[in-house]
């Protein structure tokens, strides 16, 4: 637990410390805040009064079983602040609005414009964000900012998409600056797999969390949470696992990924190519990720309807994904794997019954307590994580707040 200071010039930091305790609690008294933060009772009184006046915190009804004068619990006011998160998948744009409790108020999904000009996608995002805020009927001044989850590689410090393989002509796109100009909101940029792991971590009520998050969308990636901390890597580009070889005997597909790699086993483009090869589906335009995504949905629907050929393709993909997860679990020695992303809802009926047993057999150190589960957040996990990062950035206590310049 971060602790505060009673020095006057650190008031903003102390306020963030107190708000963070309230945000992570389901009701906390002023006495509890004093014990948790180390701040004086007068400081706690002053800070909580400001937070109530700013509509970030409100008093809740005391519990009915307390003896004597009951303490008044403090909880966050969900309408006190909001954040918007956007996930840019090459096939789908997902936009969510979070309140201060971290609850999703509204969500919308659009097809990603299949344009080589990034400005068209930027305009589409700006329109979607404006529409969501308007539909919610909230004051724009209560929106802290906009979080963007995008495929890598990224330069997060500069707010730049460097050269995402699945976004043609997006080399060195100044996405953070472009979206700030288009929306007027502060903008944070993060990698999709990292944002997804953040949302999954926030959704957990466990005291300690360590897990691998496997992201399945138009691409495949992984993120790692160790002891409640999302691992980012030295350049914030952790998780590029598409070339991890899981099937050295695989036939070459007519696409640019590594033969036998994890991406070749499970991304929509590879699955659709396999289905087209055996005559299950017509081959879509491989430059159109929306068409590829639609074809992948059709393949999953065929499998759900009992088509043997479709089921075999997805079963084979699940087994190759399990081999890759076995490698990652052996490397990191984690107790849990979570799978999610825009594609997961369609693949999970075939994947989830197959993967856990194979992962267990792949382990060097055999154990039966390895958990493999689907995301608790849902298909919008990356967008929700991007919005969570905005709340944390503006509201959580950070050491940089102590710097005097």
Domain 8-77 has CATH 1.10.1060.10: no
Domain 82-198+383-395 has CATH 3.40.50.720: no
User: Helix or strand or coil: residue 119?
Assistant: helix
Query: What pTM did the predictor assign?
Result: 0.90
With 0-12 / 13-18 / 19 or more C-beta atoms within 10 angstroms meaning exposed / middle / buried, residue 134 is: exposed
pLDDT of 1: 43
Going residue by residue through the chain, which has 405 residues, state the pLDDT in tens, using 9 for 90 and above.
Answer: 444 433 334 458 889 999 999 998 888 899 999 999 999 999 999 999 999 999 999 998 776 555 656 678 999 999 999 999 999 999 999 999 999 999 999 999 999 988 778 889 999 999 999 999 999 999 999 999 999 999 989 999 899 999 888 887 889 999 999 999 999 999 999 999 999 999 999 988 777 799 999 999 999 999 999 999 999 999 999 999 999 999 887 776 655 567 889 999 999 999 999 999 999 999 999 889 999 999 999 999 999 999 999 999 999 999 999 999 999 999 999 999 999 999 999 999 999 999 999 999 999 988 777 899 999 999 999 999 999 999 998 888 874 433 333
Q: What are the boundaries of each domain within the chain?
A: 8-77, 82-198+383-395, 206-375
8-77 and 206-375: same fold?
no
Homologous superfamily in CATH for domain 206-375:
ATPase, nucleotide binding domain (3.30.420.40)
pLDDT of 355: 97
Question: CB atoms < 10 A from the CB of 375, how many?
Answer: 23
Residue 76's alpha-carbon distances to 33, 35, 45, 105, 141, in angstroms, are 14, 19, 16, 15, 18
pLDDT of 192: 95
212 in Cβ contact with 402 (< 8 Å): no
pLDDT of 195: 96
Query: Cα 131 to chain center, whole Å?
Result: 22
Each residue's pLDDT tens digit, 18-33: 999 999 888 889 999 9
Each residue's pLDDT tens digit, 241-277: 999 999 887 776 655 567 889 999 999 999 999 999 9
């Amino acid at each position: 637990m971060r602790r505060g200071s009673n020095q006057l010039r650190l008031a903003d930091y102390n306020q963030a410390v107190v708000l963070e305790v309230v945000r992570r609690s389901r009701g906390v008294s002023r006495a509890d805040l004093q014990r948790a933060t180390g701040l004086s009772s007068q400081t706690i009184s002053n800070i909580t009064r400001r937070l109530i006046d700013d509509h970030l915190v409100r008093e809740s009804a005391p519990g009915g079983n307390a003896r004597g004068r009951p303490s008044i619990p403090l909880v966050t006011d969900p309408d006190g602040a909001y954040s918007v998160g956007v996930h840019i998948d090459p096939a789908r744009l997902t936009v969510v609005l979070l309140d201060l409790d971290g609850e999703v108020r509204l969500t919308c999904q659009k097809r990603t414009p299949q344009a080589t000009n990034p400005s068209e996608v930027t305009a589409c995002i700006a329109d979607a964000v404006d529409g969501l805020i308007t539909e919610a009927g909230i004051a724009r001044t209560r929106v802290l900012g906009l979080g963007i989850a995008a495929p890598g590689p990224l330069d997060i410090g500069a707010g730049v998409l460097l050269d995402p393989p699945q976004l043609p002509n997006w080399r060195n796109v100044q996405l953070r600056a472009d979206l700030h100009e288009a929306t007027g909101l502060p903008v944070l940029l993060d990698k999709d797999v990292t944002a997804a792991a953040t949302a999954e971590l926030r959704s957990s009520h466990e005291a300690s969390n360590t897990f691998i998050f496997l992201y399945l969308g138009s691409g495949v990636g992984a993120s790692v949470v160790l002891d409640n901390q999302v691992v980012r890597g030295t350049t914030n580009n952790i998780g590029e696992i598409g070339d991890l070889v899981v099937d050295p005997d695989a036939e070459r597909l007519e696409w640019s990924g590594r033969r036998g790699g994890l991406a070749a086993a499970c991304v929509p483009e590879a699955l659709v190519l396999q289905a087209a090869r055996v005559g299950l589906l017509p081959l879509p335009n491989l430059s159109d990720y929306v068409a590829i995504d639609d074809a992948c949905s059709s393949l999953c629907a065929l499998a759900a309807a009992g088509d043997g050929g479709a089921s075999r393709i997805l079963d084979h993909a699940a087994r190759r994904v399990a081999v890759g997860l076995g490698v990652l679990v052996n490397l990191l020695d984690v107790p849990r794997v979570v799978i999610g992303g825009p594609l997961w809802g369609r693949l999970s009926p075939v994947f989830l019954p197959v993967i856990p047993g194979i992962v267990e057999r792949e382990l060097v150190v055999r154990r039966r307590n390895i958990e493999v589960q689907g995301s608790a957040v849902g298909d919008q996990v990356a967008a929700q994580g991007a919005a969570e990062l905005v709340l944390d950035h503006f509201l959580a206590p950070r050491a940089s707040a102590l710097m005097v310049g």
